[in-house]
């Protein structure tokens, strides 16, 4: 447990002051960003420095946590809370979600949409503290970006996301196309993918390529890979390139929201989501992470000179993740958000099951 950092965050919360605790994929420490006033700041032009928390709705401004104090603490390893068997919460009626999915399939088959990502919420009682939940997330999901974000005017959000929106070092960026889902089987065998999953992931890769190709250089589309995120497998393609640093805002705006969380064509998919999902997604399927934040980086990892190898320097880095596998706290209950990509080959019942499987990421650390 990162004890003193958690205590500091607890005190901060008691004083009604904003903070965020987070662990990047594969890192062995937790970072805390503490803002010393309760002001709600927004990103204006992406030249700011801090921790961004952006909603799905692009008409609303991304929020910014100012790094008045930044504290880093090593993670003391704790046993993973990942359950081998699926955690079943109370029985829920699948019919309302299935009927929205059927409506989307009709729209796709009639040619109005190519793909749309539909989601639903799941309300669960919570009997442990948010710090205990965060501790379980970081112990269980080493390869995810795990976070606990709090602002007195906005609320408390937690999550463990596998999806990078944008990672920038200097003028080099990487992003990814992540879509297609299967449950990890008992023996961990890599799954065989079907036409539906290949298609829904390819749509995301094509969109990223199209929306970036005129504004960046050295655009590279990587190989298709199968990657694991907790209980789930996904299809992923890494995309990289170079861009003009002053155009960071344009780059972010051309990526968000990708068809991994919205759909194609983008505006029609947004409209379908707005008119059919019976709630506001708020920060689910938005993005979050470091914006132009000072980070220590290894400058010379591939040099043969050992002295130089040890040379580290501080540079501004941007590292943003898509806000998936997340939840919002409401007193002693939490609202979990889960969704999935709908294409012409979707089956409403299977889409429901997929959202049930996705809810395992959080359920398995919430329930005893
Ligand atoms: C929208 C979600 O996942 C996205 C990311 C990976 C796989 C997805 C899928 O298979 O549908 C979704 O595009 C979610 O987890 O709520």
Q: In the 3-class helix/strand/coil scheme, how is 283-341 assigned residue by residue?
A: CCCCEEEEEEEEEEEECCCCCCCHHHHCCEEEEEEEEEEECCCEEEEECCEEEEEEEEE
Alpha helices by DSSP H, listed for 89-145, are 95-109, 130-140
Give residue 84's pLDDT.
Answer: 58
Task: Find the 261 Cα to ligand 1 centroid distance in Å.
Answer: 6
Give residue 303's pLDDT.
Answer: 44
Q: Is residue 59 part of a domain?
A: yes
For atom 14 of ligand 1, which residue has the closest CA? 339
Count of domains forming the chain? 1
Q: Is residue 171 part of a domain?
A: yes
**What are the start-end ranges of the E strands in 152-216?**
155-161, 164-169, 172-183
Contact 341, 115 (CB under 8 A): yes
For atom 10 of ligand 1, which residue has the closest CA? 180
How far apart are alpha carbons 147 and 126 in whole angstroms? Answer: 17
How far apart are alpha carbons 75 and 78 in whole angstroms? Answer: 9
Give residue 301's pLDDT.
Answer: 46
How far apart are alpha carbons 42 and 277 in whole angstroms? Answer: 26
Tell me the sheet residues that pair with 245. none
Q: Which two tokens mark 304?
A: 């043969």
Q: Is residue 49 part of a domain?
A: yes
Q: Calculate the alpha carbon distances from 43 to 61, 67, 287 in Å.
A: 7, 14, 13
pLDDT in tens, the chain (368 residues): 456 999 999 999 999 999 999 999 999 999 999 999 999 999 999 999 999 999 999 999 999 999 999 999 999 766 665 665 666 666 789 999 999 999 999 999 999 999 999 999 999 999 999 999 999 999 999 999 999 999 999 999 999 999 999 999 999 999 999 999 999 987 889 999 999 999 999 999 999 999 999 999 999 999 999 999 999 999 999 999 999 999 999 999 999 999 999 999 999 999 999 999 999 999 999 999 999 998 766 555 444 444 444 556 778 899 999 999 999 999 999 999 999 999 999 999 999 999 999 999 999 999 76
Which is the closest atom of ligand 1 to the Cα of 341? 11
For atom 8 of ligand 1, which residue has the closest CA? 179
For atom 13 of ligand 1, which residue has the closest CA? 260
Q: Is residue 87 part of a domain?
A: no
Which of 114, 117, 182 has the most ligand 1 atoms within 8 A of CB, as the residue to mutate? 117
Interface predicted TM-score of the whole assembly (ipTM), two decimals: 0.98
Q: What CATH number should be reported for the domain holding residue 169?
A: 3.60.120.10
Give residue 81's pLDDT.
Answer: 59
Q: Is residue 305 part of a domain?
A: no
Q: Which two tokens mark 287?
A: 């993005």
Q: Is residue 281 part of a domain?
A: yes
Task: Find the 47 Cα to ligand 1 centroid distance in Å.
Answer: 30
Task: Find the 225 Cα to ligand 1 centroid distance in Å.
Answer: 16
Task: Find the 138 Cα to ligand 1 centroid distance in Å.
Answer: 21
> Given strand 333-342, what is the order of strands in its sheet?
69-74, 29-34, 19-23, 145-151, 155-161, 326-330, 333-342, 115-125, 263-264
Give residue 299's pLDDT.
Answer: 55
Q: Calculate the alpha carbon distances from 270 to 29, 85, 213 in Å.
A: 37, 35, 23
Q: Is residue 214 part of a domain?
A: yes
The CA dihedral of 260, 261, 265, 270, to the nearest 10 degrees, is 180
Beta carbons within 8 Å of 295's beta carbon, 6+ residues apart:
314, 315, 316, 317
Task: Find the 260 Cα to ligand 1 centroid distance in Å.
Answer: 6
Task: Find the 368 Cα to ligand 1 centroid distance in Å.
Answer: 26
- Give the containing element (helix H, strand E) for 23: strand 19-23
* Block residue for tokens 């990942």: 82
Q: Calculate the alpha carbon distances from 335 to 159, 212, 213, 281 in Å.
A: 11, 34, 38, 11
**What are the start-end ranges of the E strands in 186-231?**
217-229
Angle at 231 between CA 227 and CA 236, to 5 degrees: 20
Which is the closest atom of ligand 1 to the Cα of 285? 1
For atom 2 of ligand 1, which residue has the closest CA? 339
How far apart are alpha carbons 185 and 287 in whole angstroms? Answer: 30
Q: Is residue 302 part of a domain?
A: no
Ligand 1 pocket by C-beta < 6 Å: which residues? 117, 119, 163, 178-181, 234, 260-261, 324-325, 338-341, 358
Which of 101, 179, 182, 345 has the most ligand 1 atoms within 8 A of CB, as the residue to mutate? 179
* Block residue for tokens 């990509």: 341
Q: Which of 68, 72, 62 has the alpha carbon at shortest distance from 42? A: 62
For atom 5 of ligand 1, which residue has the closest CA? 179
Owning domain of residue 12: 3-82+92-297+310-366
Which of 339, 346, 350, 363 has the most ligand 1 atoms within 8 A of CB, as the residue to mutate? 339
- Give the containing element (helix H, strand E) for 4: helix 3-14
Which is the closest atom of ligand 1 to the Cα of 339? 16
Task: Find the 147 Cα to ligand 1 centroid distance in Å.
Answer: 18
């Amino acid at each position: 447990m990162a004890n003193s950092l958690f205590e500091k965050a607890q005190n901060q919360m008691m004083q009604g002051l904003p903070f965020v605790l987070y662990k990047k994929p594969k890192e062995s420490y937790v970072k805390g960003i503490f803002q010393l006033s309760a002001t709600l700041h927004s990103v204006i032009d992406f030249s700011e420095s801090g921790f961004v928390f952006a909603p799905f709705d692009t008409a609303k401004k991304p929020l910014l946590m100012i790094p008045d104090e930044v504290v880093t603490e090593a993670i003391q390893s704790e046993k993973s809370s990942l359950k081998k068997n699926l955690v079943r919460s109370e029985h829920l009626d699948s019919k309302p979600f299935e009927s929205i999915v059927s409506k989307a399939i009709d729209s796709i088959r009639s040619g109005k949409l190519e793909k749309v990502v539909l989601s639903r919420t799941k309300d669960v009682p919570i009997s442990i503290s948010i710090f205990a939940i965060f501790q379980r997330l970081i112990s269980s999901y080493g390869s995810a970006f795990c976070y606990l974000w709090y602002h007195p005017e906005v609320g408390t959000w937690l999550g463990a996301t596998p999806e990078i929106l944008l990672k920038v070092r200097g003028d080099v960026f990487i992003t990814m196309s992540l879509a297609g889902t299967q449950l990890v089987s008992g023996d961990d065998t890599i799954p065989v993918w079907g036409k539906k999953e290949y298609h829904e992931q390819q749509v995301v890769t094509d969109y990223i390529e199209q929306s970036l190709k005129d504004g960046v250089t050295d655009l590279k589309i990587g190989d298709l890979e199968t990657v694991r995120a907790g209980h789930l497998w996904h299809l992923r393609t890494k995309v990289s390139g170079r861009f003009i640093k002053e155009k960071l805002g344009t780059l972010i705006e051309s990526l968000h929201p990708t068809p991994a969380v919205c759909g194609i064509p983008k505006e029609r998919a947004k409209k379908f989501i707005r008119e059919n999902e019976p709630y506001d997604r708020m920060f689910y399927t938005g993005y979050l992470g470091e914006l132009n934040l000072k980070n220590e980086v290894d400058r010379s990892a591939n040099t043969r000179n050992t002295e130089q190898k040890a040379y580290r320097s501080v540079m501004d880095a941007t590292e943003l993740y898509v806000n998936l596998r997340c939840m919002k706290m409401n007193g002693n209950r939490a609202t979990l958000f889960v969704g999935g990509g709908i294409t012409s080959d979707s089956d409403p019942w299977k889409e429901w099951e997929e959202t049930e499987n996705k809810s395992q990421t959080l359920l398995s650390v919430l329930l005893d």
